[in-house]
Amino acid sequence: MNEGERGDTICAISSPTGAGGIGIIRMSGPAAHSILRKVFRSRKKVRALVSHRLYLGFVFNPETMRDVDEVLVVSMGKPRTYTREQMAEIYSHGSLAAQRLILALLLKNGARLAEPGEFTKRAFLNGRIDLAQAESVLHVIESESEDELRHALMHVKGLLSEAINAAKKQITRLLAEVEAQIDFPEEEIELRAEEWASRLRAVRGELARLISSYYEGRAIRQGLEVLIVGRTNVGKSSLLNALAVRERAIVTPLPGTTRDLVEDTILVKGVKFRIIDTAGLRKPKDPIEEEGIARVRKRIPLADMVLWVIDASEPYTAEDEEVYQTIKGKETIAVLNKADLPGRLGEEVASKSLMRVSVSALTGSGIEALKEGLYRVFTATGHAGSSLLVTSVRHRDVLEKTAEALERAAHCSITDGPIEFLAFELRDSLARLGEITGETCTDELLNDIFSRFCIGK
């Protein structure tokens, strides 16, 4: 039995570490209200703290009667709280000293320090949210782009859970029919093997759509990976610095300066792009450069987009063409760099039917147009849709195993094997889907998920 099941009261600082305008200290558990009353004195005399109403006053040390800070507090009665338990929150000034003193008073008067994610874990254990929604709370907190936040909120609202529960409902109905055939064989219930197989494959198809959405969901959560590729000395590192608006990569006139992958993240219209500078593609001069070039070649197939950088102040070279042949078939923007210098580039790039953007990484000219080009490629490839996406590798893996169980079940339904095998596969698929919403998850899985949260959430 975990600590929460023993009915203890937890507390934590829920605002970010460091000084700020406001600090938030929260409590949850059966003694939350009584502990608050021990350490809070309202400015106006009140008989009791009405639930879900803010009060202005002071947190004080009941042993010395010395005030610690002027605060706002709210006392919330269950079940209309985040955890479905009694809760209290104290809004202090944001100094570290005030927050720590208030936290120490709560601990001294009967609360204990919350574990990472324990407030959200209690919300799950008390049935306010399911496991998929609980995981999405962390995704909301970690969101860096508008798109990432929008999809995380879809999961918090329960849209993924609705899709999972719809699949479970269909499988449960079919399992009931199969079990009726097993339990009452003398009733001569009509076997509908082909119909069962068709229904199973329809559910599997719905899960397959969710599985296939993971790759888009991963791109939105982690950012679309954009490789800067080109021969040496065309300005790849300067381009990364210009896009990131800071000196992220080392820039020198010497060819082959970049040996490893250098990465930074930018936001364009709320979309996250991970821009990665790479070693110039050429015949390597030493083993270190050879390893850097090998890493680029391995990374190209995995990238979402490529920025192919060409020096527009020089004629097109055989090395440029070799780079193009290496990236051919990828979503590519041809970046014609050094636009601040007289142009000497021929028509070789124009003949390749690629989006082209002229820039000067040195002066910043054309950088905004390049960002607009990134966003256009993003929307053209369908990433800007508003449909439900799977964004968690755990959810994807569970869905893949469920789809496999459903395919085995469909095969069982149209063969002469024992009908019990079909029932087994259906039960297995239901148990796996329950791992997403939390009905069949293990304590180890719960501990792993909630340990990733910050203390106070």
Please state the rounded mean pLDDT for residues 30-37: 96
| Nearest Cα to Cα of residue 39 among 98, 102, 100 | 102
Q: Which of 195-199, 245-249, 334-338 has the highest mean pLDDT?
A: 334-338
Distance CA 209, CA 160 (A): 12
The residue out of 380, 414, 446 marking a domain boundary is: 380
Query: Cβ(134)–Cβ(82) under 8 Å?
Result: no
pLDDT score for 3? 41
What predicted TM-score, i.e. pTM, was given to this entire model?
A: 0.76
The closest of 158, 154, 132 to 143, measured between CA atoms, is 154
Q: Quick check: is 155 in a domain?
A: yes
Last residue of a domain, one of 129, 147, 177: 129
Structure tokens at 407: 């395919």
Note whether 366 and 357 are within 8 A (CB): yes
Listed in sequence order, the residues at least 6 apart from 162 whose beta carbon sits closer than 8 Å to its beta carbon are: none
Same domain, 140 and 73: no
Same domain, residue pair 11 and 151: no
Q: What is the pLDDT of residue 388?
A: 87
pLDDT-derived band of residue 287, with 50, 70 and 90 as boundaries? Answer: low
Q: What is the pLDDT of residues 115-145, one digit of tens each?
A: 999 999 999 999 999 999 999 999 999 888 8
Statement to judge: residues 375 and 408 lie in one domain: no
| Domain identity same for 125 and 59 | yes
Res. 284: pLDDT tops 70: no
Lowest mean pLDDT among 38-47, 96-105, 242-251: 242-251
In this prediction, what percent of the chain has a pLDDT beyond 70?
Answer: 89
Beta bridge partners of 55: 73
Residue that is last in its domain, among 100, 129, 158: 129
Q: What φ, ψ does residue 45 adopt, rounded to 5°?
A: -70, 125
Write out 288-347 in H/E/C secondary structure. HHHHHHHHHHHHHHHCCEEEEEEECCCCCCHHHHHHHHHHCCCCEEEEEECCCCCCCCCC
Characterize the bridge pairing of strands 305-311 and 224-229: parallel
Residues 340-361 have a mean pLDDT of 90
Residue 252 has pLDDT above 60, yes or no: no
Claim to verify: residue 232 and residue 375 sit in the same structural domain: yes
Tell me: do 13 and 122 sit in the same domain. Answer: yes
Residue 365 within a domain: yes
> Is there a single domain that holds both residue 405 and residue 372?
no
User: Can you give the pLDDT at residue 258?
Assistant: 45
pLDDT digits (tens, 9 = 90+) for 365-406: 999 999 999 988 887 765 555 588 898 999 999 999 999 999
**158 burial class (0-12, 13-18, 19+ CB within 10 angstroms)?**
middle
CATH number, domain with residue 39: 3.30.1360.120
On whether residue 302 sits in a domain, the answer given is yes
The answer to which of 23-37, 42-56, 237-251, 262-276 has the lowest mean pLDDT is 237-251
Residue 303 has pLDDT above 90, yes or no: no
Where residue 291 sits, what CATH number does that domain have?
A: 3.40.50.300
pLDDT at 286: 53
CATH code at position 180: 1.20.120.430
Q: Is residue 450 part of a domain?
A: no
* pLDDT for the residue numbered 256: 46
Q: Mean pLDDT across the stretch 210-224?
A: 84
Q: What is the pLDDT of residue 45?
A: 87
Same domain, 410 and 369: no
Average pLDDT over the chain, rounded to an integer: 87
Q: Which residues of 3-111 form beta strands (DSSP E)?
A: 10-13, 20-28, 40-42, 54-60, 67-76, 87-94
Q: How many distinct structural domains can be found in the chain?
A: 3
- Give me the mean pLDDT over the 82-98 stretch: 95
For residues 67 and 72, give the distance between their C-alpha atoms in angstroms, rounded to a whole number: 14
Whether residues 245 and 360 share a domain: the answer is: yes
Q: In this structure, is residue 16 part of a structural domain?
A: yes
How far apart, in whole angstroms, are the C-alpha atoms of residue 392 and residue 303?
19
Task: Check whether residue 122 and residue 31 sit in a common domain.
Answer: yes
Q: What is the pLDDT of residue 355?
A: 93
CA 356, CA 350: separation in Å to the nearest integer? Answer: 8
Residue 199 is part of which domain span? Answer: 135-213+391-437
Do 170 and 47 share a domain, yes or no?
Answer: no
Say if 98 falls within a structural domain: yes
Residue 251 pLDDT greater than 70, yes or no: no
Q: Are residues 411 and 369 in the same domain?
A: no
Q: Tell me whether residue 386 is in a domain.
A: no
